[in-house]
Amino acid sequence: MKMKSKHTLLLLAAFIFSNKSFAIDETSYHLLSDPGTLLASIFLALLLAVMFILPSVIETLLKLVKQHKGKAMLLLGILTTSAAKAEIIGPDFYRKFDGYHFVLVLALVILILAITTQLRIINRLANDLRETNALGEKSETAWSRFIKKMTDARAVSEEKDILLDHDYDGIKELDNNLPPWWLYGFYITIIFAVVYMGHYHVFNTGDLMIAEYEKEMLYAQEELEAKAASGDIVLLDENNVELLTDAASIDKGAKLYTSLCAACHAAEGQGLVGPNLTDAYWVHGGSFKDVFSVIKYGVPEKGMIPWKTQLSPTQMQNIASYIMTLQGTNPPNPKAPEGELYE
Amino acid sequence: MEIQKFHYDNRIVKDFALASIFWGVIGMLVGVIIAIQLFYPPLNFDTSWLTFGRLRPLHTNAVIFAFVGNAIFAGVYYSLQRLLKARMFSDALSRIHFWGWQLIIVAAAITLVLGITTSKEYAELEWPIDIAITLIWVVFGWNMFGTIIKRRERHMYVAIWFYIATFVTVAVLHIVNNLELPVHFLKSYSIYSGVQDALVQWWYGHNAVAFFLTTPVLGLMYYFVPKAANRPIYSYRLSIVHFWALIFIYIWAGPHHLLYTALPDWAQSLGTAFSIMLIAPSWGGMINGLLTLRGAWDKVREDVILKFMVVAITCYGMATFEGPLLSLKNVNALAHYTDWIPAHVHIGTLGWNGFMIFGIFYWLIPIIYRTKLYSTKLVNIHFWIGTLGIIFWALPMYWAGFTQSLMWKEFTADGVLAYGNFLETVTQLIPMYVTRAIGGLLYLTGIILMAYNIRKTVAAGNLLAEEPAEAPALEPNYVKHTGEHWHRWIERKPVQMMIWSIVLILIGSVIEIIPTMMVKNNIPTIENVKPYTALELEGRDLYIREGCISCHSQMVRPFRSETERYGEYSKAGEFVYDFPFLWGSKRTGPDLHRVGGKYPHSWHYNHMLDPEMMSPGSLMPPYPWMFENALSTKHTKGKIKAMQTLGVPYTDEQYKNAVEDLKAQSEEIANELNKDPNINVSSDKEIIALIAYLQRLGTDIKN
């Protein structure tokens, strides 16, 4: 047991004190390209949860397989086919439900299964103990001794020895010992709590949230700069953005326009609440870069929303490029020109 | 010793039980309606009364206080009498308790749909109803302690320890969290603001779960499970340890609802540490419940009542293990504000509370009606349809939670948010919302089947209102048994039991709340933060009335993904004039703390009139009545006065000129709006006040 608790503590420490887990979660990395320590964290937590019950789960499963070979195969079959189905539903239905999320859901399902299985185990254990009793020490193994030690329950057949003289409307109480696995678990959580408070507030060895945030921002900044320096990405802004003319980009821009801009500038750009985008008159400049800037930063005092937090630079580039194609299209019901003629 | 003859009062048990089923059907029906509104907003028929923001608190209050509340009282009144071998102390108190509680529920239903709310979750009811709840709760306690005092059983069984702890703790929580300053009969302000209000609210909110949905139901479990299974409780010593540990530790865990918010770090960490320590005490109850069924497992296979109870206890185990995990900061960073939280909550409520109550009623009602259940087959159908309902409810919501959270946090290689448009992360969830509504519908069908089955059972039976019983009176002097457990002492002493319960729950409360109130550097002052103008204050009250808090948070957490999306993270000092705080707990829509100045007035105007106009595909309902109703300024001065009393530095000038100032600001906003050729609004409409408030939000630190 000593080895075991030492091990547990190490895992626990690794889990809780890895600030990195969070930092990575928030980086500019595409989440999927990096499995992330968050995932590891959740698994560790689950591991803790099933640590005490998993052995007995496996034991019972093995027994079940031995007893009901056919049924077990069937179960296995159902499990694998349903997994395959999840695969087929795939990207379109739940775009986000890819590997990363699948593992998270799987982890939860495992937890639920483990706990429900535990219900069966309790029953089986009780039966086993009863049988063991009836048959003497014959079927005892190191494993069953361990389980017995961890649960420390008196067999149902012996329960009259520990029946207390309490009687409340017919309800009686047994005097079973506290289950050792439960008690040790309680001790571990108490140690955890003390170490946790010490780590963050006595020895100040852990980062509190603002320090964590500052590190995260710094990390993201460095990451971006490194990527820009190596030429992996081009950081598009109003200084280096270029007009796109290829059909695919214009088409993307048109779609975004319809869903986001048409509410104010009308479906064909003829203007509604916002100005007409099809004439040659512009309130804030008519160059491609001007249009890009207005989309990006907005003109809040006049009602134009800044889109920089909602759209990527490429998306704004697409929209601006599409808007440039509207010049001189003369749609019906145009709004009167506003601003200055741009040539 | 002479044998005394007396009668158990079954009528009060029946009343509470039937009321519970009735309100359960209503509360769950409202739940299904709001679940559908989340993917089909027109279901509110453009009626203010039926919008999500007003129905959501109705749903939570109805299922917690009406369905579970009445069930708790039914179970307590049944078990308490038998465990103590005594009739309830006073029939009159029982009646007052019953009718008082039902009137409170009716008052709650009416006021909540009218938008009369304090906005504090699970404590939304306004001050006159709060006072009524306090009085009725005292009646309940009085009746219970009266019964305990005249008991014919020397020792109190573990169920009663839980009832006592429930009574005292709910009283403390309810009173402290609902301390509010009335402005008029139907409006009050919390006496706490910002961070302090948040801490008190979630100390209350978390422990409403602990001491209203958990401890009393554990008490019921300790009575009804051994009765239904006819087995002894597994371990008396486990009862002792887990009871005291549970009530002591639970009270500390509230701050885990406020991780990564402006709450001081030390309080957040305490919330996490104590939540982790809660695993074992909670599981102690689960173990004692499940292992009580040792040797009766063969019965569980056949007896559907035991099946309900086993699933209930298992759900309790799952929820109380998941809760501490969610309290770890790195898991919480992922889960908070998403649908993961409702999923977690509903494992507890649908599974633990609902199934335990169903099991108890199916066992108890035939007994007091001296008959058999009308249809065991229907009970079996209820069991399976309910179980399916829980799965269909929870799994898609877990899925939705992960999906949305990861979408919020995803950056592209260029370092911008992959889903900068918040709406994308919402429309993505629609299939999950549909599945969840189906789950809810299944669960609702289950309780309707139950209502029908119970109705038929009741019609066929015949209530044994006065159940004869007999027991010897207690000997005046008690002689201790040799070798008895030391804990037996306190089981004979109800007053000591109550005092020790209060002491234990006050330790955590005092250590967390007092320093947050008293120590100044917990909430660093920000010079620029100024009180709201009269118009903004009225707008804020409209925000509260419409229940905007149900879907919008006002708390930007210090994460890159949030500061990029919303702006600077929220600081404690920004909320000092927020009576009550409006941080929210769920983001079905985006955070609003930095919305001020982000959009023009006309954007908000069009958006409130028809959200789809500005955000095609939005799931937010329109608020047309705010464009028709004139803003009432009847209480504006009173509100400023109340704020002054609470310590907000309004000058006497501001108090005197409140209405004039309000009108001047309204004019300004209306003029700005009317510049838009498509808008024509007069300055006295409610929408103007709401826009004024929204445009003020989070802007103080920019200046």
Q: What is the ipTM of this complex?
A: 0.93
pLDDT of A120: 66
pLDDT of A108: 66
* Average pLDDT estimate for B454-480: 93
Cβ–Cβ gap B233/A171 under 8 Å: yes
pLDDT of B414: 80
Q: Which amino acid is at B95?
A: R
| Percentage of the residues of chain B whose pLDDT score is greater than 70 | 100
Nearest CA in chain A to B421: A310
* Average pLDDT estimate for B172-193: 96
Sort A43 into a burial class: Cβ within 10 Å, 0-12 / 13-18 / 19+: middle
Q: Find chain B residues with C-beta within 8 A of A273's C-beta.
A: 602, 606, 676-678
pLDDT exceeds 70 at position B79 = yes
pLDDT exceeds 90 at position B183 = yes
Distance from CA of B401 to the nearest CA of A (A): 10
Cβ–Cβ gap A28/B412 under 8 Å: yes
User: Residue A103 — pLDDT band, cuts 50, 70, 90?
Assistant: low
Q: Find chain B residues with C-beta within 8 A of A30's C-beta.
A: 410-413
Nearest Cα neighbor of B165 from B504, B513, B493, B510 is B504
* Average pLDDT estimate for B100-105: 98
Sort A6 into a burial class: Cβ within 10 Å, 0-12 / 13-18 / 19+: exposed
- Which of B241, B414, B421 is the best residue to mutate to test the A interface, defined by the most A CB atoms within 10 Å of its own CB? B414
Nearest-CB residue to A115 (from B314, B328, B407)? B314
pLDDT exceeds 70 at position B267 = yes
Q: Find chain B residues with C-beta within 8 A of A217's C-beta.
A: 560, 563
Distance from CA of B269 to the nearest CA of A (A): 7
Cβ–Cβ gap B431/A313 under 8 Å: no
Distance from CA of B403 to the nearest CA of A (A): 6
Q: Quick one: tokens of B72? A: 């708790």
Nearest CA in chain A to B604: A303
Cβ–Cβ gap B409/A176 under 8 Å: no
Residues 6+ apart with CB under 8 A from B390: B315, B346, B347, B350, B351, B439, B443
> DSSP characters for B438-497?
HHHHHHHHHHHHHHHHHHHHHHHS----EEEEEEEPPPSS--PPTT--TTHHHHT-HHHH
- Which of A30, A169, A230 is the best residue to mutate to test the B interface, defined by the most B CB atoms within 10 Å of its own CB? A169
pLDDT exceeds 50 at position B608 = yes
Nearest-CB residue to A209 (from B260, B281, B322)? B260
Q: Find chain B residues with C-beta within 8 A of A211's C-beta.
A: none
Out of A60-74, A255-269, B15-29, B35-49, pick the least confident. Answer: A60-74
Cβ–Cβ gap A216/B328 under 8 Å: no
Q: Find chain A residues with C-beta within 8 A of B617's C-beta.
A: 259
Cβ–Cβ gap B330/A190 under 8 Å: no
User: Residue A133 — pLDDT band, cuts 50, 70, 90?
Assistant: low
Distance from CA of A102 to the nearest CA of B (A): 9
Distance from CA of A83 to the nearest CA of B (A): 15
pLDDT exceeds 90 at position B559 = yes
Average pLDDT of every residue of chain A: 74
Q: Quick one: tokens of A89? A: 């539903």
Predicted structure pTM score: 0.85
Query: Each residue of B572-595: pLDDT tens digit?
Result: 999 999 999 999 999 999 999 999
Query: Each residue of A213-237: pLDDT tens digit?
Result: 999 999 999 988 898 888 888 778 8
What are the CA-CA distances from residue B316 to residues A166, B167, B214, B320 (Å)? 27, 21, 9, 6
Q: Find chain B residues with C-beta within 8 A of A177's C-beta.
A: 235, 237
Q: Find chain B residues with C-beta within 8 A of A107's C-beta.
A: none
Nearest CA in chain B to A193: B273
pLDDT exceeds 80 at position A1 = no
pLDDT exceeds 80 at position B616 = yes
Average pLDDT of every residue of chain B: 95
User: Residue A156 — pLDDT band, cuts 50, 70, 90?
Assistant: confident
pLDDT of A99: 44
pLDDT exceeds 80 at position A61 = no
> DSSP characters for A17-64?
T-THHHHHHTSSS-GGGS-HHHHHHHHHHHHHHHHTTHHHHHHHHHHH
pLDDT of B500: 96
Q: Find chain B residues with C-beta within 8 A of A22's C-beta.
A: 329-330, 333
Does residue A164 or residue A111 have the better pLDDT?
Answer: A164
* Average pLDDT estimate for A64-78: 55
Does residue A77 or residue B94 have the better pLDDT?
Answer: B94
Cβ–Cβ gap A201/B266 under 8 Å: yes
pLDDT exceeds 70 at position A132 = no
Backbone torsions φ then ψ of A329, nearest 5 degrees = -80, -15
Nearest CA in chain A to B415: A28
pLDDT exceeds 80 at position A43 = no
pLDDT of B89: 97
pLDDT exceeds 70 at position B284 = yes
Residues 6+ apart with CB under 8 A from A241: A288, A289, A292, A313, A317, A320
Longest dimension (CA), chain B: 92
Cβ–Cβ gap A22/B330 under 8 Å: yes
Q: Are B125 and B133 in contact (CB under 8 A)?
A: yes
Does residue A40 or residue B49 have the better pLDDT?
Answer: B49
Q: Find chain A residues with C-beta within 8 A of B318's C-beta.
A: 111-112, 115
pLDDT exceeds 90 at position B14 = yes
Nearest-CB residue to A189 (from B277, B560, B566)? B277
Q: Find chain A residues with C-beta within 8 A of B155's C-beta.
A: 166
Q: Which residue has tokens 């790195």?
A: B330
Nearest-CB residue to B558 (from A31, A192, A210)? A210
pLDDT exceeds 70 at position A116 = no
Q: Which amino acid is at B181?
A: L
Cβ–Cβ gap A312/B414 under 8 Å: yes
Cβ–Cβ gap A193/B274 under 8 Å: yes
pLDDT of A46: 60
Sort A237 into a burial class: Cβ within 10 Å, 0-12 / 13-18 / 19+: middle
Cβ–Cβ gap B413/A232 under 8 Å: yes
As beta bridge partners, residue B397 has none
Q: Are B191 and B579 in contact (CB under 8 A)?
A: yes
Cβ–Cβ gap B287/A21 under 8 Å: no
Distance from CA of A67 to the nearest CA of B (A): 19
Backbone torsions φ then ψ of A304, nearest 5 degrees = -85, 125
Helix B494-518 with B194-208: angle, nearest 10 deg = 150
pLDDT of A79: 45
pLDDT of A60: 59
* A23 vs A216: CA distance, rounded Å: 5
What are the CA-CA distances from residue A35 to residues A24, A40, A45, A83, B485 (Å)? 9, 8, 17, 20, 53
Query: Each residue of A184-218: pLDDT tens digit?
Result: 999 999 999 999 999 999 999 989 999 999 999 99
Cβ–Cβ gap B297/A126 under 8 Å: yes
User: Residue A9 — pLDDT band, cuts 50, 70, 90?
Assistant: very low
| Percentage of the residues of chain B whose pLDDT score is greater than 90 | 88
Out of A56-60, B274-278, B627-631, pick the least confident. Answer: A56-60
Cβ–Cβ gap A212/B558 under 8 Å: yes
Nearest CA in chain A to B416: A312
Q: Which residue has tokens 């035991």?
A: B306
User: Residue A29 — pLDDT band, cuts 50, 70, 90?
Assistant: very low
Nearest Cα neighbor of B693 from B583, B602, B597, B611 is B597
pLDDT exceeds 80 at position A19 = no
pLDDT exceeds 80 at position B420 = yes
Q: Quick one: tokens of B676? A: 């838009």
Cβ–Cβ gap A38/B330 under 8 Å: yes
Query: Each residue of B631-655: pLDDT tens digit?
Result: 999 999 999 999 999 999 999 999 9
Q: Are B346 and B394 in contact (CB under 8 A)?
A: yes
Cβ–Cβ gap B294/A175 under 8 Å: no
Q: Find chain B residues with C-beta within 8 A of A235's C-beta.
A: 414-415
* B487 vs B483: CA distance, rounded Å: 11
User: Residue A119 — pLDDT band, cuts 50, 70, 90?
Assistant: low
User: Residue B621 — pLDDT band, cuts 50, 70, 90?
Assistant: very high
Nearest-CB residue to B414 (from A95, A168, A313)? A313
Distance from CA of A58 to the nearest CA of B (A): 20
* B593 vs B253: CA distance, rounded Å: 26
Nearest-CB residue to A303 (from B236, B270, B602)? B602
